[in-house]
């Protein structure tokens, strides 16, 4: 009888402990790339609003990173700010305030880059998100998606993007797109194919309010 009750207690404690473990991660990881090339620099003020939206939407335990796209974007030096929000709401709020300050500083002292390495930025984002491994991974590209690489930079290889949602934001039309709109459509198709071939999901959002629907899933 005594033995039976001890086994019962052990079983109950085991059941309780197994019930307490986190069986499923609910965190979200968002990596945002900002195009700082000369043609796109003037658009960056809009990016500020999106970053503020993300800071307001992301919860404790989520990750947010912002990096710039410049001549060579596959580098940690291009990361402007990054934070994994603490599990405590009060600490998380402080982190968000610091993040915002960093972004303000960056946007006030931004320098345009002569080239645009979008692929490098995406590769950096994929690396980073896979390392953190949140439940939902988003790469937001705030760019016109026109890639201009320095001679010798190799980017024409496939990138593994399994489980990633790549969202192109505010894809502006260039002067040349106005002359031949097929260029714009070809550009979008190129990136769509590249993402989907890598196993990712591609979306284009020109209205920032639609971002809410995508983030909610």
In the complex, least distance from residue 134 CB atom to other proteins, rounded to whole angstroms? 10
Nearer to other proteins, 48 or 112 (CB): 48
Sign of CA dihedral 102, 78, 50, 143: positive
- For other proteins, the binding residue among 20, 45, 108, 151 (CB under 8 A) is 20
What the block records as the tokens of 60 is: 């404790």
Could you tell me how many helices (H) and strands (E) the chain has, helices first?
A: 7, 6
157 binds other proteins (CB under 8 A): no
User: In the 3-class helix/strand/coil scheme, how is 89-128 assigned residue by residue?
Assistant: HHHHHHHHHHHHHHHHHHHHCCCCECCECHHHHHHHHHHH
Site string for other proteins, 87-116 (x = CB under 8 A): xxxx-xx--xx--x----------------
Site string for other proteins, 25-54 (x = CB under 8 A): xxx------------------------xx-
CB 174 within 8 A of CB 147: no
What the block records as the tokens of 202 is: 């591609």
182 binds other proteins (CB under 8 A): no
In the complex, least distance from residue 50 CB atom to other proteins, rounded to whole angstroms? 11
* Residue 14 dihedral angles phi and psi, to the nearest 5°: -60, -45
User: Distance from first CA to last CA of the chain, Å, rounded?
Assistant: 53
- For other proteins, the binding residue among 55, 69, 140, 159 (CB under 8 A) is 55
23 binds other proteins (CB under 8 A): yes
What is the binding site for other proteins (CB under 8 A)? Answer: 19-27, 52-53, 55-56, 59-62, 85, 87-90, 92-93, 96-97, 100
């Amino acid at each position: 009888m005594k033995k039976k009750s001890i086994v019962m207690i052990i079983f109950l404690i085991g059941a309780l402990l197994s019930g307490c473990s986190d069986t499923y991660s609910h965190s979200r990881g968002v990596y945002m790339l900002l195009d700082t090339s000369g043609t796109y620099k003037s658009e960056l003020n809009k990016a500020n609003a999106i970053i503020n939206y993300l800071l307001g939407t992301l919860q404790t335990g989520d990750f947010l990173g912002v990096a710039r796209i410049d001549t060579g974007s596959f580098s940690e030096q291009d990361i402007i700010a990054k934070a994994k929000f603490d599990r405590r709401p009060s600490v998380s709020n402080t982190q968000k305030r610091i993040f915002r300050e960093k972004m303000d500083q960056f946007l006030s002292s931004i320098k345009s880059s002569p080239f645009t390495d979008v692929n490098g930025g995406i590769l950096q984002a994929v690396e980073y998100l896979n390392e953190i491994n949140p439940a939902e991974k988003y790469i937001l590209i705030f760019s016109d998606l026109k890639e201009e690489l320095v001679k010798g930079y190799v980017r024409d290889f496939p990138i593994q993007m399994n489980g990633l949602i790549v969202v192109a934001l505010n894809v502006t039309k260039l002067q040349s797109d106005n002359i031949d709109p097929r260029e714009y459509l070809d550009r979008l198709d190129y990136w769509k194919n590249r993402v989907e071939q890598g196993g990712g999901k591609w979306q284009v959002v020109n209205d920032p309010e639609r971002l809410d629907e995508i983030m909610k899933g």
